[in-house]
Structure 1
Amino acid sequence: MFDSFLKHEKPRVFLGTLAVVPRKDMKRHVDQWGMFRNESFDDPLRTTLEGIFSLPPASEVSAPHRTDLGLDVLVLSFQSGDYWDLSLEDMGLPVFWRPKITVACRLYHLKSQKTKRTFSATQKMPWGEFVSRQLTLQAIFRFRPTFDQEDMKCLLYGACHSLLNKLRKVA
């Protein structure tokens, strides 16, 4: 009698939407001039997301079970890091920002499309690594961008790892 009550069916998880939200902040102009010049960064981020979340697509499920879940993943924002020295006559003002990426996901019931939980995670480059990169000849003379797509992929992996840990605790 209690066997059917105690048996808990594990939910199946399917991949819904993977997207990179277009940037609208002012720093996107600096990134296009510096780190991402002549590069589209949305496609490599999306490709990396597909590799991380290699789940069967939710669109191919014709008859979802009661416990089936869908997962939408969005890269909400990203930025490269940079350092500028704004000089106002005799006074200098340092302006800097670290590479950062924010990823969010929505876990929802596949049958009803109702949201079960949402999560987000932000990953920033550690201060020590950021400062050490700013002290290289590459950063001082700016003959190449200080931060590249591989740096952003590492941050993306870190943020997605945090998301997966949060999801695992819920499921």
Structure 2
Amino acid sequence: MLSRLLRREKPRVFLGTLAVVPRTDLKRHLEQEGIIENESLDEALRRNLIEIFSLPLAQHVDAPLKSDLVLDVLIARFQSGEILDVGLGDAELTIFWRPKITVASRLYSLQTRKTKATFSVTEKMKWMQFMGRLFTWRGLFRSQPFVRADMEYLLCQACVKLLARMQKAL
């Protein structure tokens, strides 16, 4: 009986804002992400966020409870990975970077709008997987060694870790 009295009511969680922060770094000009089916990588990642976080929208709550929470999620940074050969006179230098994505979230009260907690997770492609992608036909001929599926996978992994951290905090 005492445990029933001490048990907290689990809060309901609703979805607030899902966003992708526009890239402003130099790498965005160097990566061969391209637009496939009239959809940029930013749009594709936002669409994936919508699929991953399929929660009821906070704006549609008629009678909010005191314990109701709202979740805002954004992709703070991402890079899709690339390998470039840069000529320096007689020498040539190879520059590369792995695909990486940073997902951040904010959990706040629906009634008071006061922030309860913030979370951030960065997920990178593993080195072995990265090197394996470089030595495929696509990678050897520099025809987009890293594809959207890699970014979508990293996004899913980051979101799973983000949700695990949020669950521990609640």
Q: TM-score, normalised by structure 2?
A: 0.91
Question: Judging changes above 3 Å, is the alpha-carbon distance between structure 1 residues 159 and 4 closer, same or farther for their aligned structure 2 residues?
Answer: closer
Whether 1:166 and 2:169 are equivalent positions in the alignment is no
Unaligned runs of 5+ in 2: none
Which residue number in structure 2 is paired with residue 36 of structure 1? 34
Q: 1:87 to 1:3 in 2, by over 3 A?
A: closer
1:75–1:101: 8 Å Cα contact kept in structure 2?
Answer: yes
Structure 1: 5+ residue stretches without partners? none
1:67 alignment partner, SS class: coil
Tell me the TM-score normalized by structure 1: 0.90
Assess if the C-alpha contact under 8 Å between 1:36 and 1:148 holds in 2: no
> % of aligned pairs identical?
52
Supply the distance in 1 between the matched residues of 2:85 and 2:150 (Cα, whole angstroms). Answer: 23
Alignment check: 8 A CA contact 2:80 2:99 kept = yes
Q: 1:11, 1:46 → 2: CA distance?
A: 26
Q: CA deviation at 1:91?
A: 3.2
Question: After alignment, is 56-65 or 131-140 more displaced?
Answer: 131-140
1:131 maps to 2:157: no
Q: CA RMSD in A?
A: 1.8
Count of aligned pairs? 168
CA spacing shift, 1:121–1:3, aligned 2, 3 Å: closer
1:48 paired residue number: 48
Counterparts of residues 1-171 of structure 1 (less than 5 Å): 5-31=5-31, 34-37=32-35, 39-142=39-142, 144-171=143-170
Shift in Å at residue 37 of structure 1?
Answer: 4.3
Indicate if the aligned counterparts of 1:14 and 1:70 stay in contact, CA closer than 8 A.
Answer: yes
